[in-house]
Chains A and B, each alone.
Chain A
Amino acid sequence: MNKELTTIDWQKLARYGLLWGVAAVYVSVIGMIESFSGRSIINNTLTLAQVLLFIPPIAAGYMIVNRKEIMPQDRNSVLMGGAAVGAISSAWVVLLIIVQGAIPGIRNVFINVSPALIEVLTFGLGFAGVFIYVAVTAVLGLIGASVHLLPDRGRRAVYNVVLTLLIAGAFGEIFTQVLRPLVGNVVVRALYTGGALNLVAAVVLVAIAGGLGWYRQENQARYEAFRGEIGTPRQKQVYQYQVAIGIILLLILPWIVGRFLSDVMVTIGLFIMMGLGLNIAIGMAGLLDLGYVTNYAVGAYILGILTTVPPDGSGYGFSFWIILPLCLFGAMSIGFVFGLPVLRMRGDYLAIATLGFGEIIRILAISEWLEPLAGGAQGVLYIPKPEIFGISFSNPQQLYYVVFAGCALVLYVSWRLNNSRTGRQWMAMREDEDVAQAMGINLVRTKLLAFTISAAAGGLAGGMFAAKLGTIFPTSFNILVSINVLSLIIVGGIGSIPGVIVGAIFLIGTPELLREFVEYRLLIYGAVLVWMMLARPEGLIPSAVRKRELKSGVDSL
């Protein structure tokens, strides 16, 4: 198969295009397109639904160029192949449009094939829209393929433009809210209408983002030169300033972005804590724990039960600040106790056992046996907001600081552990338990320590979660929490501390901000995870060790 192709293998190309086309028809039939069509990226020009529909032809065009067994790499073939594969990818959608026109009863089977969906697919032009759809996908395939023909800087400019437009457009509502008090209504109205970018504003943004991408090399060189001029001691100073400014920004952030975004940030913060905690077990010690929700639940229930003040005066009503450390220790004790029976288990067996623990906690919480304490299905109500020296942390903007402090603590501990003797102990155990033992490492102690410390962060997050909501129900502590935390670690990069933060912002933040995503959350997680495993198995921000492993070709996990 080393023979260079001289012409495009049309049959393979068609198959490739049809495969990508399935993605487009799939998101249409499950209702994603219709529900995403409500969100405009660029006013009257582009909706999120269209972006979603455009991904398959662009991706097909972009990726087919790398398939040397399908097409040669010269310029004409690239352009022609891209356009062809894009157009072919539209086949299923075209078929869908035709079939729904011919068989009106199709909605009984595919309930999401609604007139609204067809309107989106045909650009509101009725059957003539089919031809436009095919033409558009052909152009998109061509664009996707031609990215390869650009010089490096051009490609960077394109990535910049796409990312900027998507973020500025999709999160338009939020930007509108945040920017209004900062830059005034006039500017905001120039940029956005009803939460979508104005066409002119979009063009300006494209120019700026593209320009920055195009000239990035020069800018970077200039910055390096600047750093070289000022000398090492000043460089350090500059770095310190940068860090200081970053921290100050983080501290005033809730007052800049407002209440709604602060609430989202609080949720992200809780998941950062849990992600960092689970990262200790999985990333550092190699213990695949699928029941992390246990610790979250334990923390939440401890805080809930001990601080609640029901109107009938029956609760304990302790202070949040006294109980919060108890959440930590409570979760640690449970982590320790659950660690004991699984000491001898490894890999898959450990994963299944911990999966069971997560369920045990949920069932205990809902059980009649613990009802007097945990309230059964009613949960625990009337949990007061934290308060100290007369300052109440009652709204999200104030709670942000509590969560911020928690994240800072867990972050510091994680970072110290990573570079410690204990961290190396875990790393050795992760690689080979027998050899680690031969080095004199006490496996029992090392494992229990990992479970216990990992649990602490979950307990802390759980306690804060209970205080944030004011009420807790057993249904909040289902396996999805564990899956969310695990997914964000994988997406960010197993073992990488910055990766956890990015993963949490990406996986937890996006569905919170784009309500349309919530319904398809798991579908998107699945797609993102599969794509990650194929394209970037080391995660978005891989840890140094992982990067090395993958590069050196030593098989991992």
Chain B
Amino acid sequence: MSLLKVNNIHAYYGNIHALKGVTIDVNEGEIVSLIGSNGAGKTTTLRAISGLMSLREGSVEFEGEDIANYASHDLVGRGIAMVPEGRGVFAKMTVMENLELGAYTRNDADGIKQDLERILELFPRLAERKTQISGTMSGGEQQMLAMGRAMMAQPKLLLLDEPSMGLAPILVELIFDTVKELNESTGTTILLVEQNAHMSLQVSHRGYVLQTGEIVTQGNAKDLQQDESIKKAYLGIE
């Protein structure tokens, strides 16, 4: 069943036509990759989905409902959580305070406590650093925190914007493993935006390729990994 339906959306920054009719479908329980090079419009797409960007044309439906009806901050309660590009942890707060803010929209104290424990289990690195000031953690740890914090909202759909950006290769692998584990252990649907096409397609079920504001290819992750043109353009394989 389709959880998120992005229908032919157009978005502009002033005169710049950033999205030229993007259509994406994400089914429940899936990990879907959205890959593309710098400036392709990946972040813009996520901003459009999370209501931070007004659409000139097209619509975004979540659970069959047009989300144009919701203010951006209401989407969290509705089930969409986003980890913004560049992580965006509250640098001056502790790890715990960050995680608690993730559950801001929830009122079930017991449920929050349970989720907190589960997330600290999923991210053992955070468990060791509960009282550390987030801004002093390494890039990889901050990414974990941002993901854990988003999970605290109990989202149905998690939007990740380039989680591997600027991380050492070994950490990149760890992050993608965690993404996969999140999806498998909690059943959370994930839309994963990445430039690292190789790694993201490996953990995804399906993928879309975005080029200057347009979807140029889509399909099964396995098939995309074999696709000659994609290999050339994004996987660095001649």
Is the pair B133, A552 in contact by a Cβ cutoff of 8 Å?
A: yes
Extra A-B contacts (13), CB below 8 Å, given A435-B84, A435-B90: A427-B93, A432-B88, A435-B89, A438-B82, A438-B84, A439-B73, A439-B101, A439-B102, A439-B153, A440-B74, A554-B92, A554-B133, A554-B135
* Min CB gap B3→A, angstroms: 19
Complex interface: chain B residues within 8 A of A439 (CB): 73, 76, 101-102, 104-105, 149, 153
Complex interface: chain A residues within 8 A of B101 (CB): 424, 428, 436, 439
Is the pair B104, A425 in contact by a Cβ cutoff of 8 Å?
A: yes
Interface string of B44-83 (1 = CB under 8 A from A): 0000001010000000000000000001111111000110
User: Knowing A427-B93, A440-B153, A545-B92 touch, does A434 contact B105 (C-beta < 8 A)?
Assistant: no
**16 A–B pairs (Cβ distance < 8 Å), ordered by A:** A424-B100, A431-B90, A437-B52, A437-B72, A438-B81, A438-B84, A439-B104, A439-B153, A440-B74, A440-B76, A440-B104, A440-B153, A442-B73, A545-B92, A554-B91, A554-B135
Is the pair A437, B92 in contact by a Cβ cutoff of 8 Å?
A: no
Interface string of A538-557 (1 = CB under 8 A from B): 00000001001100111010
Is the pair B90, A428 in contact by a Cβ cutoff of 8 Å?
A: yes
Complex interface: chain A residues within 8 A of B52 (CB): 437
CA distance A442 to B104 in the complex (A): 11
CA distance A552 to B90 in the complex (A): 14
* Min CB gap B130→A, angstroms: 14
Complex interface: chain A residues within 8 A of B102 (CB): 439
Q: Does A199 contact B (CB under 8 A)?
A: no
Residues from 414 to 442 in A contacting B, C-beta threshold 8 Å: 424-425, 427-428, 431-432, 434-442
Q: Does A443 contact B (CB under 8 A)?
A: yes
Interface centre among A428, A553, A556 (most CB of B within 10 A): A428
Closest 3 CB pairs of A and B: A440-B76, A554-B135, A440-B105
B102 closest partner in A (C-beta): A439
Is the pair A431, B93 in contact by a Cβ cutoff of 8 Å?
A: yes
Complex interface: chain B residues within 8 A of A545 (CB): 92
Contact of B133 among A427, A434, A549 (CB under 8 A): A549
Interface centre among A424, A435, A443 (most CB of B within 10 A): A435
Is the pair A441, B92 in contact by a Cβ cutoff of 8 Å?
A: no
Complex interface: chain B residues within 8 A of A428 (CB): 90, 93, 101, 104
* Min CB gap A380→B, angstroms: 44
Q: Does B2 contact A (CB under 8 A)?
A: no
Interface centre among A428, A440, A442, A556 (most CB of B within 10 A): A440
* Min CB gap B27→A, angstroms: 24
Residues from 123 to 137 in B contacting A, C-beta threshold 8 Å: 133, 135-136
CA distance A181 to B81 in the complex (A): 68
CA distance A553 to B52 in the complex (A): 32
Is the pair B136, A553 in contact by a Cβ cutoff of 8 Å?
A: yes
Is the pair A434, B77 in contact by a Cβ cutoff of 8 Å?
A: no
Instruction: Identify the A interface with B (CB < 8 A).
Output: 424-425, 427-428, 431-432, 434-443, 545, 548-549, 552-554, 556
CA distance A436 to B149 in the complex (A): 12
* Min CB gap B192→A, angstroms: 17
User: Knowing A438-B50, A439-B104, A440-B104 touch, does A556 contact B73 (C-beta < 8 A)?
Assistant: no
CA distance A432 to B92 in the complex (A): 10
Complex interface: chain B residues within 8 A of A556 (CB): 92
CA distance A110 to B77 in the complex (A): 69
Is the pair B135, A552 in contact by a Cβ cutoff of 8 Å?
A: yes
Complex interface: chain A residues within 8 A of B89 (CB): 435
A437 closest partner in B (C-beta): B73
B106 closest partner in A (C-beta): A440
Contact of A441 among B75, B84, B104, B133 (CB under 8 A): B104
* Min CB gap A57→B, angstroms: 40
User: Knowing A425-B104, A439-B102, A554-B133 touch, does A431 contact B73 (C-beta < 8 A)?
Assistant: no
Complex interface: chain B residues within 8 A of A552 (CB): 133, 135-136
Is the pair A549, B92 in contact by a Cβ cutoff of 8 Å?
A: yes
CA distance A433 to B163 in the complex (A): 20
Complex interface: chain A residues within 8 A of B100 (CB): 424
CA distance A128 to B91 in the complex (A): 62
Interface centre among B76, B100, B104, B149 (most CB of A within 10 A): B104
CA distance A431 to B97 in the complex (A): 13
* Min CB gap A548→B, angstroms: 6
B91 closest partner in A (C-beta): A554
User: Knowing A438-B50, A438-B82, A440-B77 touch, does A432 contact B133 (C-beta < 8 A)?
Assistant: no
Is the pair B88, A434 in contact by a Cβ cutoff of 8 Å?
A: yes
* Min CB gap B89→A, angstroms: 8
Complex interface: chain A residues within 8 A of B92 (CB): 431, 545, 548-549, 554, 556
CA distance A436 to B84 in the complex (A): 11
CA distance A443 to B76 in the complex (A): 14
Contact of B88 among A435, A440, A442, A553 (CB under 8 A): A435
CA distance A46 to B191 in the complex (A): 75
Interface centre among A432, A438, A553 (most CB of B within 10 A): A438
A549 closest partner in B (C-beta): B92
CA distance A548 to B135 in the complex (A): 11
* Min CB gap A235→B, angstroms: 26
CA distance A440 to B93 in the complex (A): 17
* Min CB gap B229→A, angstroms: 35
Contact of A548 among B76, B90, B133 (CB under 8 A): B133
CA distance A439 to B74 in the complex (A): 9
Interface centre among B73, B77, B135 (most CB of A within 10 A): B73
CA distance A376 to B114 in the complex (A): 63
A446 closest partner in B (C-beta): B73
Is the pair B88, A443 in contact by a Cβ cutoff of 8 Å?
A: no
CA distance A443 to B51 in the complex (A): 14
* Min CB gap B77→A, angstroms: 6
* Min CB gap B112→A, angstroms: 12
Contact of B76 among A424, A427, A434, A438 (CB under 8 A): A438
* Min CB gap B128→A, angstroms: 17
* Min CB gap B19→A, angstroms: 20
B74 closest partner in A (C-beta): A440
B150 closest partner in A (C-beta): A438
CA distance A335 to B5 in the complex (A): 42
Is the pair A438, B88 in contact by a Cβ cutoff of 8 Å?
A: yes
Complex interface: chain B residues within 8 A of A431 (CB): 90-93
Complex interface: chain B residues within 8 A of A427 (CB): 90, 93
A556 closest partner in B (C-beta): B92
* Min CB gap B18→A, angstroms: 18
* Min CB gap B152→A, angstroms: 9
* Min CB gap A481→B, angstroms: 30
CA distance A545 to B91 in the complex (A): 12
* Min CB gap B135→A, angstroms: 4
Complex interface: chain A residues within 8 A of B149 (CB): 439
User: Knowing A552-B133, A554-B136 touch, does A441 contact B88 (C-beta < 8 A)?
Assistant: no
